[in-house]
Structure 1
Amino acid sequence: MRRDTQLILCPVNLRHAKANFNAYDEAVAMAKRRGAKLLLATIAPEMERNLNVHDSVAYWTQQLRTFVAEHPADGVALETVVRTGAVHRQIVKLASERNVDVIVMESANPKVQDYLLGTTASHVVTHARCSVFVVRGQDVT
């Protein structure tokens, strides 16, 4: 029996200026097809590398707003959230707290030959209670 999808979580890593956002594009398309709400999240580090960032949550909230403005999710109900901590743990925790139906995320380190998935994606797939859709980057060889 097919479950209705009401909430899709899409974590995005905004730390890479030239990042590929294939998972975000897929999550938006999936939300449109399923009539679901999209929960877009970014996880801020507990200790910023750049010591000029005094309020990490405020900084990453603004970065996430900028991202949404540059990549609109037309026709999709969208909510943003910023968390701090270990990325893999915060994704699983957020999905559980919000009763997410599916997580759509990128696979990290696609050039590392020893891993099928990146370590964050591996942890989320293993520990999330919901389905996880892992999007491979274009650079996979």
Structure 2
Amino acid sequence: MARQTKLILCPVNLRHVKLEYNAYSEAVEMAQRRGAKLIVATVAPEIERNLNIYDSDKYWTEELKKFIAAHPAEGVDVETVVRKGATHRQIVKLADDRNVDVIIMESANPKVTDYLLGTTASHVVTHAECSVYVVRA
């Protein structure tokens, strides 16, 4: 018997979202099919490199709202979350804190340095307590 999926987490990198958002599309479709709630999250850096961003929490919250408005999830209960810190750790922590059933996230094509250092997706797959669905960009 298939597991019930009630809560899906989809981390979105807003710096690259104009190029690819395949994982978000997959997450929306899965949430629609399974009647699940969708948490769309972004992880902001602890220290902004862009000196024009004075209030990081407010800025990234607004950017995430713009993303959701531009890509509506018809018939899906969507919650947005902004976290600060190391992306790979915050995704796992949020999934654990909220007891999500599945994480759906993007993965770029691996490079040589990724094999040596590890990617965000590989860390999440290794450390998350729930299932992780990795969508190739």
TM-score, scaled relative to structure 2: 0.93
CA–CA distance in structure 2, aligned partners of residues 136 and 80 of structure 1: 23
Q: Which amino acid aligns with 1:71?
A: H
Q: Which amino acid aligns with 2:111?
A: V
Aligned twin of 2:101: 101
Aligned twin of 1:34: 34
RMSD: 1.5
Aligned-pair identity in percent equals 69
The 1:3/1:119 distance shift into structure 2, 3 A limit, reads: same
Runs of 4+ in 1 over 3 A off after TM superposition: 113-116
Where structure 2 has 5 or more consecutive residues not aligned to the other structure, the ranges are none
Report Cα offsets for 1:103-126 as digits up to 9, x if no partner. Answer: 000003x1526757x600000000
Q: Give 1:19 deviation, angstroms.
A: 2.3
Equivalence map 1:67-78=2 (5 Å): 67-78=67-78
Aligned twin of 1:124: 124
The 1:2/1:114 distance shift into structure 2, 3 A limit, reads: same
Q: Give 1:17 deviation, angstroms.
A: 5.8
Could you say which structure has the higher helix fraction?
Answer: 2
Partner SS, residue 121 of structure 1: helix
Aligned twin of 2:4: 4
CA–CA distance in structure 2, aligned partners of residues 71 and 126 of structure 1: 30
CA–CA distance in structure 1, aligned partners of residues 39 and 8 of structure 2: 6
Partner SS, residue 105 of structure 2: strand
Counting matched residue pairs gives 135
CA–CA distance in structure 1, aligned partners of residues 87 and 110 of structure 2: 20
Report Cα offsets for 1:41-78 as digits up to 9, x if no partner. Answer: 00000011101111111100000000001000011110
